[in-house]
Every structure is written in C-alpha cells, then in structure tokens.
Homo-oligomer: A and B are copies of this chain.
Amino acid sequence: MNEALPSRKRGDKSAAAFTASIPFDRRLYGQDIAGSIAHAKMLSRQGIIAEKEAELIIMGLISIREEIEKGEFSFRTELEDIHMNIEARLFDKIGEVAGKLHTARSRNDQVALDLRLYAKEAISQTIEALVGFQRALLDLAEANKDVVMPGYTHLQRAQPVLLAHHLLAYFEMAQRDVERFGHCLEHADIMPLGSGALAGVAYPVDRSFLAQELGFARISANSLDAVSDRDFVIEFQAASAVTMMHLSRLAEETVLWSSAEFGLVELDQAYTTGSSIMPQKRNPDVAELVRGKTGRVYGSLMGILTTMKALPLAYNRDMQEDKEGFFDTVDTLLPSLEAMAGMVRTLKVNAERARQAAGGDYVLATDIADYLVKKGTPFREAHRVVGKLVGYALEQGKTFQQLSLSEYRSFCPLFEDDVYAITVDSSLRARDEPGGTAPQQVEMALKRAREIVEAKGG
C-alpha cells in the first residue's frame, strides 16, 4: 500500500518542483497571451520596439494560443510558470526578437495583470450564475404562488408564510451577492502594467492605451501597490464565502424539507442518489455537498488572508499562493450555483402537507393576540392571555377552532364570534405592508424581482 501516498509530487523533491506554479497557472494562458499582445502593440506604438518586431511577436503568441487550445503545447515544469512556458516557446518560434516582449515589463506586473483579467471574467460569470439562480427561485415561486407553509424561527413553526415569500428571501440574498461581486469588480478592474518590478518602468509606455486595449476601467495609481495588491482576490473570496453561506442555508432547508419528517418537498432524481445498502432512500446529495463545500470556500478565504498577513512591500513569493484557493473557489462556486438552480427549478412541492403544517401547533397564536390588541388590550397583556389560552387548549387537546366561545371568554371577555375568522389565510392577508407575506405584497415583490432579473438580460 505504500505506493499510494508518495505517488504525487514527491517523486521530484527538488526545489524547482516545489516552487513551480505551472500545474495550476497554466489556466491563465489566455489572459497571459492577451496581455502580451496588448503590451507588444503598445511598445510598437510608442516606438519602443519596431512595428515589424511587434507583428512577429503577436503572430507568435497567437499561434502559441492555438497550440495550447489544440492540446499540442507541452508544458514544462522546469520552466516554472505559464509566463516562462509561453516566453520560451516564443523564442523557439521567432528567435531572439522574443526577448523584446519583456521590455518595460516585469513578471510582477505581468502576473498581476493576468490575475486581474481572470478575476474580471470570473466575476462576470459568477454574476450570471447568481442571476440564473435567482431565476430558478422565481420560477419555483411563481409556479407555487398559493402554497402556504409554516414560517419557522428556532426551527419551531411560528407563523404561516407563503412559500413564494420564503423563496424571495433567498432572492434578496442573491441580490446582495450580485451587488457584492459588482463592488469586487471595481477593485479588480484596474490595469497594473507599467508598474515594472515595483518602481515603474524606465520607458515611455502608454498605460492608458493598455487599459483601453484590455478593457480596463482604470490604471493603477501606484506601482508598489500595483504589484503587491491582492485585495481583489480576497474580496472575491469573501463575497464567495457569503454566497456559499446563503446557499448552505437553502441546502439545509432542502435537506430538512425533503426528510420524511418534514415532507414538504420532493427532489428530482437528478439531484439525489440512492443508498448502496438501502434501496428506497433518496438522499439529497447535491444539497449536502453544497452545504459541505461551504467549508472549503471559507477555508480558502482564511488561506489568502493568512498568506497576505504581514508581508512587507512589494512582491514576495508567498503571493504565488494567491491562485489555487481562488481557482478552487471559482470552481466550487459556479457549479454550486448551477446545481442549486437546477435543484430548485425541479423541486416538487407538497402543497397539501405544507398547508396542514402551517395551520398546526397553534401557529395562529400571534394572530389571536393581535386580535385582542386591536380590541384595546395592551400588547404584553394580550400575550399573557393567549399564553394561558394555548395552555388550556393543549390540555384539552383542542385546536383554536375547536374551542367554544365561552371557553375563549373565560380567558378574556373581549373575544367574540369573529375570533373564528382567524385562519391561515387571514393571517397571511393581515401582514400587508411592504416586505410582509400578504399575497398581494408577495405578488408585487415577485414582479419587482422578475423585473430585476429581466433587466440583467439573458
């Protein structure tokens, strides 16, 4: 069995294998080449290199990109990273002129650029996935507009709510997530080239042209900061941690709701698995995995924060560790959002059982108390009266509807016949302010939500 463990990296114990980043930064080839093409154009426009040289370099880079995309490029660990792999290949292809591409550029501003290009794209895909998740929530909500279920606090049934209202709570969370990634974009959308190793470069570069060419909103304001700043990575990971937290809450509810005990929903088979030993079970594996994956996303946030702690300016090799956790977070978050969207979209709701649960357990007690308050009882007093009433009803094994008016009146003379008009539906209707669960409020909220996602196109 002793072949299992050392079978990975440990074969090559050299420092080179230890420091190489090519196994994970090869993913950035597209960003690296795009950045180099823009840089070559700029160098030529500014007369730093000749036009012909730039053309050679650009053609070389384009053909390298094709090699990579066709799977014909052989990555070499001894060349350490994606930048050197591409650079070395460029020398193979076009000879010494390749050496001019590195003019007025350092690895430090180059890696910052590549990661920022990647981050911008990751953010845009994340926002798209969030909107897809929002759409799934709205689809389910609109398809089940009349479904009422118990709202819970402390996992105890508390008050009836519309399922659509419950789902809209997640819509709001996702909306904040969208905004948060939007903010993150502002700090990613800054062009660092021209910062050199740390102090700027000694050539008449045109940084604004580079920004424009590469689609950046701004150029960085300080070269030392530009090569040592990874705030945008941390912000992405912090935003992802919050999003995963939100998903973990929905995942937890999905697990609960699809249990035999709750029985509120049934998951589509595509999002469950059977047990290897218990053929009748439908395990909510996707929900569980999303909930579990919250851990790795939190962990990667902790990782990058730790790595960046107390690093002196400017670039330190520690910062090579900015990538794997970031990539893993992207690779976790996007599929999690898609999986949850799919799971939500295909969810079957057990409307009958939900309504039954919404009416059970004296869930309408608050409404009875409100009834007394509206007849003039101070809130706290109404609370005490209803507390005793519920105690009595429990003892007698009766529901609110089963109590006689004289039983009601023995607790408070203000009770009248209209107490029997308090129902799950009257309870819902009564919560009729913006943000409340009254059907007409939820209707308006659904419309507004739909407008928000429509505005995002797609």
Determine if A288 is an interface residue (Cβ-Cβ < 8 Å): yes
Chain A 107-163 interface residues, beta-carbon cutoff 8 Å to B: 107-108, 117-118, 121-122, 125, 151-161
Structural contact, B103 and A229, CB atoms closer than 8 A: no
- Known: A102-B379, A161-B198, A435-B221. Is A294-B279 also a contact (CB below 8 A)? no
What is the CA–CA distance of A271 and B5 in the complex, to the nearest angstrom? 25
Question: Among A8-16, A401-409, A412-420, which stretch is in contact with chain B?
Answer: A8-16
Determine if A310 is an interface residue (Cβ-Cβ < 8 Å): yes
- Range of interface residues on chain A? 35 or more
What is the CA–CA distance of A278 and B8 in the complex, to the nearest angstrom? 34
Per assembly, the copies of the chain total 4
Structural contact, B362 and A280, CB atoms closer than 8 A: yes
Interface secondary structure of A, over-half rule: helix
Structural contact, B295 and A306, CB atoms closer than 8 A: yes
User: Which chain B residues border A221 with CB–CB below 8 Å?
Assistant: 168, 172, 434-435, 445, 448
Structural contact, B317 and A292, CB atoms closer than 8 A: yes
Determine if A312 is an interface residue (Cβ-Cβ < 8 Å): yes
What is the CA–CA distance of A373 and B48 in the complex, to the nearest angstrom? 9
A268 to chain B: closest residue by CB: B15
What is the CA–CA distance of A201 and B457 in the complex, to the nearest angstrom? 35
Determine if A273 is an interface residue (Cβ-Cβ < 8 Å): yes
What is the CA–CA distance of A151 and B151 in the complex, to the nearest angstrom? 27
What is the CA–CA distance of A315 and B231 in the complex, to the nearest angstrom? 30
A371 to chain B: closest residue by CB: B202
- Known: A199-B436, A361-B260. Is A153-B279 also a contact (CB below 8 A)? no
Q: Of the candidates B1, B275, B295, which one forms a contact with A121 in the assembled complex, judged by CB atoms under 8 Å apart? A: B1
A319 to chain B: closest residue by CB: B292
Interface string of A212-241 (1 = CB under 8 A from B): 000000011111111111010011001001
What is the CA–CA distance of A280 and B157 in the complex, to the nearest angstrom? 10
Given contacts A207-B433, A299-B299, 5 further A-B contacts (CB under 8 A): A100-B379, A102-B379, A224-B437, A278-B366, A295-B304
A-B contact pairs, 22 of them (CB 8 A): A5-B121, A106-B276, A151-B314, A152-B313, A154-B255, A154-B316, A155-B284, A159-B199, A165-B199, A170-B225, A173-B225, A194-B434, A199-B427, A200-B437, A234-B241, A280-B387, A280-B390, A292-B320, A293-B307, A299-B303, A300-B303, A301-B305
